[in-house]
Amino acid sequence: MGSLPIPDSRFAHLDEYPMDEAFMIMRDFALDAHPHKISLGAGVYRDNEAKPWILPSVREAEQLIVQDPNTDHEYQPMAGHPPFIPLAQELTFGPLMASLSNRIVSCQTISGTGACHFAFRFISEVTSAKRVWISNPTWGNHHLLWDISAPQVKQQLYPYYNAKTCSLDFEAMIQTLDAEAQPGDIILLHACAHNPTGIDPTPEQWAVIADVCERKQLFPLFDSAYQGFASGDLDQDAYAIRLFAERGFELAVAQSFSKNFGLYGQRVGALHIVVSRSDAVPSTQSHLTKLVRGEFSTAPVHGARIVSRILSDAALRKQWYGDLQVMSSRLKDMRRALYDELRRLGTPGSWEHIVDQIGMFSYTGLNEKQVRRLRDEQHMYMMSSGRASIAGLNTSNVAAAAAAIDAVVRAEKQA
């Protein structure tokens, strides 16, 4: 009996989608056999031995959870692990909870990526927004998430980074929004530790941004991925969100616990929506719950239990504050060490922006050609935009990293 001919595949017409650059860099770094290679690409915290760091508070909370005979693996409510939701709200809004508690709608999400996805889809649908304003540059996944979650919403860019000065292009940002934004547009804002630049507005500048949003009737949507991790101060890192909430804005916050709890693989996140009237809460909650049911029914519980256990236990919470200080202080120390070493080498250019920026990432000012030479000649990996993960630096490699940068900068000058 002859074999049947193989039919054409229904999927043969698909173009291969390019691999995400961050994960491609991680793959290439893993394949590099050089003994002194340096990874400044991955957006994950590493300790001074370049190893993953489980926060001591997280380790202790996890042991308590596992040892608890009442711990089970049952489904959670669709809105999320019940103790987790109010604690996540309190972390974000702090003392404003007294006045906002009856106007906040929340659900647990698949980390910050899932929170952004839900926010983009839900807000665009219920507000019928035609455009969203996104900083130039932004976290690369923001654009993909909008394409997938709300393709009908046109993505507009507002200026953010001044390449000549390696600083915030604040005047251009405000002028663009004032001239071109329309009532009903969404604006995507980074709550702190802007990714990829590491450059945040000052409190005074945030007030001006809020003025523009109010004047132009924009809907603020905050991506909050680094609260406490950026500065070590939970209140300071939530300043912008609370400023807008206190001024009476309806807004949304996509919250991630990957960085500040080190729970990268547990995918713990939340979406919070502040509405102007309490009678809008039940219907808003029902629509969010519908999205949850249609996508994953209930969120993973283990990571949410860890967060809840820490935030609800005074001793563990205090210990977690110390863990935040360890991480944020090490990043600041590595920024200073890299800057000092570049200064010692006399590397051409101005490098003050490295210590002026905040959080995990630095927009180094290196161009794509220099980044490629760093990889090919120096075995040092970072994003083609020049974004470097400061967490990849440590006392053993920071001098080598500075020497590598010095080498490629001088080579370009001499070419």
pLDDT one-digit tens code per residue, 140-196: 899 999 999 999 999 999 999 999 999 999 999 999 999 999 999 999 999 999 999
Q: What is the mean pLDDT of residues 293-306?
A: 96
Q: Which of 414, 413, 401 is nearest to 41 (CA)?
A: 401
Question: Closest Cα partner for 160 from 182, 175, 144?
Answer: 175
Q: How many residues does the chain have?
A: 415
Instruction: Specify the domain boundaries for CATH 3.90.1150.10 within the chain.
Output: 21-53+328-414
User: What CA–CA distance (Å, rounded) separates 274 from 2?
Assistant: 66
Summarize the confidence of residues 310-339 as an average pLDDT.
97
Which residues does 210 contact at the CB level (< 8 Å), separation at least 6?
A: 243, 244, 247, 249
The mean-pLDDT minimum among 21-35, 68-82, 84-98, 297-311 falls in 21-35
What is the average pLDDT across 296-311?
A: 97
List, by residue range, all CATH 3.40.640.10 domains of the chain. Answer: 75-312
Average pLDDT of 113-127? 94
Mean pLDDT for 246-264 is 97
Q: Chain-centre distance of CA 254, in angstroms?
A: 9
Tell me: pLDDT of 2 over 90.
no
Among all residues, which ones are annotated catalytic?
139, 223, 259
Whether 1 shows a pLDDT value over 60: the answer reads no
* Max CA separation in the chain (angstroms): 80
Please tell me the CATH code under which domain 21-53+328-414 is placed. Answer: 3.90.1150.10
Note the pTM of the prediction, 2 decimals. 0.93
Specify the pLDDT at position 9: 87
- 125-148: buried (b, 16+ CB within 10 Å) or exposed (e) per residue? eeeebebbbbbebbbbebeebbee
At 23 the pLDDT is: 86
Residue 353, pLDDT above cutoff 90 = yes
Domain 75-312 adopts which CATH fold? Aspartate Aminotransferase; domain 2 (3.40.640)
Tokens of 101: 């508690």
